[in-house]
Amino acid sequence: MLRLTQFVLPHFTLPRFILRCIRGAVVLQLLLASMLAQANIDRIELTNGSVIIGSFHDADNGKVMIDTDFAGMLTIEKSNIVSMDVASSVTLQMRDGAVLETDNLVVDNRTLSLTTQGKTSYALDELMRINPEPWELGRGYRHTGLASSAFSLQRGNTVLDELDYKIDTRWRGLEDRYTLKLEGEVREANRERNTENWMITGKYDRFQTGDYYWGVSASAEEDRFADLDLRTAIGPYLGRSLLVGTPFVLELETGLSQVNEDFGTAIDRSYVGLTWSVRSESQYFGAESRLYVDHKGVKNLADRNNLILNTTLGLAFPVLGRIQGATEVVLDYNSGAVEGTEELDQTYRFRLGYAW
């Protein structure tokens, strides 16, 4: 006779078991959400369907920066963003001039939803900056600069001492910019000085609508061993910034300048010159490096044979903290050089400096 074994169910029924599982899952989700919120984990969804999780850093010039565990700091074009959820408190600067603070920024279907008073919905294209610096709000200036030098010693059949120095500093405001540069070179060979020159330049830029700006430049220069006691130049110019918001910076300027040249033995000169300059920087070799070109030219409008060109090509890279190294090639050309001096001067150097 077949006997059936009787199974005894636990004291709780199946529906209660399912209910407890659901409650546990809800509690676990709440704990995870709380942990993510405390860790300020932010989320960005791109047009290609990718989702990036990390900690929101900044946004400016049409780009958003987010710090991730898997790839470090990522820079994302704003046009590639479909949705974004920033859990931390942020300050927003809109194109209409409004400055808004919100505890939670949500972007859905390229529309901003804000937890703030007043207008609470903006198109993503209306967002200009997130967490702007004080100078970007018209309060004060951002001061940046680089002080560097190159020093070489040679002992043996030839005793050579050489010192090159450079200070390049800028004060950038919302509507204008000040620039101050000082550079020079001193060299002694066999205890006799054969090179001593310096140049100081001051500039003021006033930004206009779009990428254009105008400015005024003044400079003074001395080169004792090229018979140049003093060269001064002052005049206005028009400039344009190109490729704004990209890793490549390009600024073009052109104008007129009154140039006065005092020589030790040659005849002094005074003329109006056509001036131009090209300044470019890029991060072609990585975000921490800086490939740069700085070119300036002056053409004597009264003498087509009188042309001055100065070109610096360099690659800067971090060494330790704010300490930077750089390799440079400097080409100085002066078709109106006095008799007995070379028209083209070439210098190759390694620089070490401090950036701020």
Dihedral angle sign, alpha carbons of residues 4, 5, 9, 14: negative
Neighbouring CB atoms inside 10 A of 227's CB total: 16
- The backbone torsions φ and ψ at residue 124, rounded to the nearest 5 degrees and listed phi first, read -60, -35
Q: What is the DSSP letter of 4?
A: P
On the CB side of 103, how many CA atoms lie within 13 Å of its CA?
Answer: 4
Residues 59 and 123 both lie in one domain:
yes
In the listed set 83, 104, 132, which residue is the last one of a domain according to the structure?
132
Mean pLDDT value across residues 21-48: 64
Q: How far apart are CA 220 and CA 206, in angstroms?
A: 22
218 vs 53, higher pLDDT: 218
State the pTM of this model. Answer: 0.74
- Please tell me whether residues 257 and 122 are part of one structural domain: no
Q: Is the pLDDT assigned to residue 154 strictly greater than 90?
A: no
pLDDT of res. 346: 87
Least confident interval from 120-129, 146-155, 156-165, 169-178: 120-129
CATH code of residue 177: 2.40.160.40
Residue 86 pLDDT greater than 90, yes or no: no
67 and 186 belong to one structural domain? no
Domain end among 132, 158, 189: 132
DSSP annotation of 20? H
pLDDT in tens, 6-23: 444 445 455 666 666 666
Instruction: Report the percentage of the chain scoring pLDDT > 90.
Output: 40
- In the predicted structure, residue 52 carries a pLDDT above the cut 90: no
Mean pLDDT of 182-209: 91
* Residue 112 pLDDT: 77
How far is residue 241's CA from residue 255's CA, in Å, rounded to a whole number?
Answer: 15
**In the predicted model, is pLDDT for residue 156 greater than 80?**
no
Residue 339 included in any domain: yes
Higher pLDDT residue, 127 or 158?
Answer: 127
> Is 282 among the domain residues?
yes
For residues 280 and 250, the answer to whether their CB atoms sit within 8 Å is yes
Are 159 and 189 in contact by the 8 Å Cβ rule? The answer is yes
pLDDT in tens, 222-278: 998 889 999 999 999 999 998 765 668 899 999 999 999 999 988 999 999 999 999
State the residue range of the domain holding 105.
Answer: 41-132
Question: Tokens 């509690």 belong to which residue?
Answer: 27
Whether residue 36 has pLDDT greater than 50: no
Same domain, 124 and 146: no
172 and 244 co-located in one domain? yes
- Domain end, chosen from 132, 166, 189, is at 132
Rounded to an integer, what distance in angstroms lies between the CA atom of residue 115 and that of residue 160?
A: 67
Greatest mean pLDDT range, 28-37, 72-81, 99-108, 289-298: 289-298
Residue 297 in domain: yes
Whether residue 36 lies inside any domain: the answer is no
pLDDT in the model for residue 25: 62
Query: Mean per-residue pLDDT for 198-208?
Result: 96
Percent of the chain with pLDDT over 70: 84
Using alpha carbons, select from 168, 171, 194 the residue that is nearest to residue 183: 168
pLDDT at 119: 58
Of residues 263 and 67, which shows the higher confidence score?
A: 263
User: Average per-residue pLDDT in the chain?
Assistant: 83
| Residue 330 phi, psi (nearest 5) | -120, 125
Residue pair 337/323 in contact by the 8 Å Cβ criterion: no
More reliable by pLDDT, 281 or 340: 281
- Rounded to whole angstroms, how far apart are CA atoms 142 and 265? 45
Say what the pLDDT of residue 338 is: 73
Question: Are residues 231 and 150 located together in one domain of the fold?
Answer: yes
- Residue 35 covered by a domain: no
Asked if residue 11 belongs to a domain, the reply is no
pLDDT per residue over 299-353, tens digit each? 999 988 889 999 999 999 999 989 999 999 999 999 877 777 778 888 888 999 9
In this prediction, residue 2 has a pLDDT band, given cuts at 50, 70 and 90, of very low
pLDDT band at 38 (very low <50, low <70, confident <90, very high): very low
* Statement to judge: residues 58 and 147 lie in one domain: no
- 294: in domain: yes
Residue type, 161: D
252 and 168 together in one domain? yes
Residues 6+ apart with CB under 8 A from 183: 164, 165, 166, 167, 198, 199
* Tokens 């959400």 found at: 33
Same domain, 279 and 349: yes
For the CA atoms of the chain, what is the radius of gyration? 31
Query: Could you tell me if 317 and 349 lie in one domain?
Result: yes
Are 177 and 304 in a shared domain?
A: yes
**Residue 69 domain-assigned?**
yes
Are 344 and 270 in a shared domain?
yes
Per the structure, the count of domains in the chain is 2
